[in-house]
Structure 1
Amino acid sequence: MSTLKLHGIVPPVVTPLNEDFSVDETSLRKVVRHLVDGGVHGLFLLGSTSECVFLNAGQRARVIEIALDEAGGRVPAVCGTMDPTTDRVIENARQARSLGVDGLVVTSQFYTRSSQGETIDHFSMVKDAVDLPILAYDIPVCTNLKLSRETIRTMYERKLICAVKDSSGDIENMRMLGLDFADAPDFAILTGSETVVDYALLGGAHGNVPGLGNVDPAGYVRLYEAARAGDWVAARREQERLIRLFQIVFQGVPHTSPNASGVGGFKTAMHLMGLIAHPHMSRPNRVLPPAAVERVKDILLATGML
């Protein structure tokens, strides 16, 4: 059984950047305090919301060093190792292990298309090279491969993974995955959705990895605690408020790509809340234009965040 027991709210931590695109240490420390003080149950460093694939090895190391130092072991921290090839993922994983993370997050290969069997080999090679608990990250919109239920079960039985983050958007498949692992108390299923967390928890998911949790960690913690207590009315009420807050992710389009609008929406909100010094993202992603910033501000006011 894995020593890493993931559950609850584990946000993918935003990476604040200075104007020269270096990691903004002061803002990152403030974000980590905001998350931990908000009651989160873990931290996911260098996830998609963290802009991990834009960061070089030095930037990735700084994020890990700063976040772990600020968290001070109060919650477990897992780290994304995402890169297109196995050997590069192993390099990232070795760096993360040397800096003290509690576990790794691994996707299938991307850009070069992969098969289910090659994906199992990929996870096995990473596990052999860096013996830390691994969370499988199922995000087919970025990898062009949906991790099948059979692949996830095989990797679990071979002791390659201890959890899955399901960002596939396929809640029916995730529900069936929950039944597949009903006999596996050492395996965690986490949804990557911000908007159907109550449904996922009712269906047996163990937690949530919400990018919007950077903005409102306490709201997601309230949702999780209400669900765990069986108060589904309160859980639905909190989920619906968070859905209204989630509208910040749409305000940058068409000035930005949908991805930049999402991360930019989070960063714009956090900038308005005084959590980060600058709202910009890695190049070439555009910051939200002034009209979009005003719309984000209105949403924050309407949902009690300002």
Structure 2
Amino acid sequence: MSNLNGIIVPLVTPLQDRNTLDTEGLERLIEHVIGNGVDAVFILGSTGEAPALSYKLRLELIERTARLVADRVKIQVGITDTSFEESLTIANAASEHGADSVVLAPPYYFTTSQQELIEYINHITGQLPLPLYLYNMPGLTKTTFEPETVLQLADNPKIAGLKDSSANMMYFHKLKYTLRNHPDFALFTGPEELLAESVLLGGNGGVCGGANFFPSLYVSLYQACKNKDLDTVAELHRQIIKISSTIYCVGKYGSSFLKGVKCALSLMGICNDFISEPFHHFREKEREEVRKHLLDLGLL
């Protein structure tokens, strides 16, 4: 099993254009997050724009990330796909290059029943070379891992835990209760606004997009939660809500979060802010808004 705890950064994918990595930016980004104490990097997730990347680019990203990380922290690789075989191809590449675990959401496009989902997960884990973390992302996949489904899958020795990006704390509470007899089954939260609450309630950590540009904040909050330093928790949590209410709210659409993170990284000189189509990076007006927020946070 993966035995992972703490702050996992879902790395953005630095791009020069639609099918070219910003390789120098990737190196600076990895050094930035590892140097500020994150426990793992997660590539090819939602923040990494995985569904929009070519398979060639995904494989190159796995190889380069593994080489740059060089066993300093753990590596997770997203293998979510509409194709069973393509998920296995990415998983095998992850294993070949030394990743520690893979992450899988339900196949998007067609919806599935819970029984079909259980069978699908059990079939694919029978061929996976690495431990698997389930990825609950109903907003993008239209399918939820129901708590009873997770309980059944928790008996599968290849499944190490679950990342929940539903932003539903009632769901998180139900998972904790349902899995009360599975203490080794890890639970991570995706929305960073819920990081403090979930860790204080026994969660294993967070997969926080803001850790791309401000990793030390999320690492410090996690440590304060583990130490039950509630005054520090409250102060750091306020900073995270400030980021959520400012940088992530520049622009009008659901892509604003990703545009904000990539814009922040660009302004900090870490990597390019090119985004896969149909999206585009922030123009100068929005870019100036993000700059002001970064200055306010002391990051510029």
State the TM-score, normalized to the length of structure 2. Answer: 0.96
Coordinate RMSD, CA, aligned: 1.3
Q: Provide the rounded CA distance (Å) in 2 between the counterparts of 1:98 and 1:116.
A: 31
Instruction: Provide the rounded CA distance (Å) in 2 between the counterparts of 1:20 and 1:116.
Output: 36
Match of 2:270 in 1: 275
Write the distance in 2 (CA, Å) between the matches of 1:182 and 1:298: 45
Given the superposition, is the C-alpha separation of residues 21 and 85 from structure 1 closer, same or farther in structure 2, using an over 3 Å criterion? closer
Mapped pair 1:244 → 2:239: no
Aligned to 1:47: 45
How far does residue 86 in structure 1 lie from its aligned partner after superposition? Answer: 2.1
User: Which of 216, 223, 233 is the matching residue for 1:218?
Assistant: 216
Looking at structure 2, the residues matched to 167 and 153 of structure 1 have their Cα atoms a distance apart, in angstroms, of 18
What corresponds to 1:265 in structure 2? 260
> 2 CA distance for matches of 1:262 and 1:30?
21
Does the 8 A contact of 2:130 with 2:158 survive in 1?
A: no
**Deviation (angstroms), 1:275:** 0.6
The structural deviation recorded for 1:118 is 1.0
Cα contact 2:19–2:53 (8 A) shared by 1: no
Is 1:286 aligned to residue 286 of structure 2? no
1:202: which partner in 2? 200
Are 2:300 and 1:301 equivalent residues in the alignment? no
Cα offset, 1:130, TM superposition: 1.5
Question: Cα distance, 1:181 vs. partner?
Answer: 2.6
Between the two proteins, the alignment pairs up a number of residues equal to: 299
Q: How far apart, CA to CA, are the structure 2 residues paired with 1:161 and 1:15?
A: 26
Q: Indicate the residue corresponding to 2:59 in structure 1.
A: 61
Q: AA paired with 1:91?
A: T
**Counterpart among 93, 98, 101 of residue 100 in structure 1:** 98
Identity %: 29
- For 2:234 and 2:19, locate their aligned partners in 1 and report how far apart those are by CA, in whole Å: 39
Q: CA deviation digits over 1:123-166, x for unaligned, max 9?
A: 11221112310000000011101110011111111224111000
How many angstroms does 1:20 deviate by? 5.5
Q: Higher strand proportion, which one? A: 2
Match status 1:18 vs 2:16: yes
Q: Which residue identity is paired with 1:27?
A: G
Gaps of 5+ in 1: none
Asked if structure 2 preserves the Cα contact closer than 8 Å seen for 1:97 and 1:130, the reply is: no
> SS at the partner of 1:147?
coil
Deviates more, 1:94-103 or 1:143-152: 94-103
Contact 1:85/1:110, CA 8 A, preserved across alignment: no
Find the aligned partners of 2:95 and 2:129 in 1 and give their Cα distance. 9
Q: Is the 8 A contact 1:188 1:206 kept in 2?
A: yes
SS of corresponding position for 2:103: strand
Instruction: Map 1:135-154; keep pairs closer than 5 Å.
Output: 135-154=133-152
The DSSP-based 3-state class of the residue aligned with 2:20 is coil
- TM-score, normalised to structure 1's length? 0.94
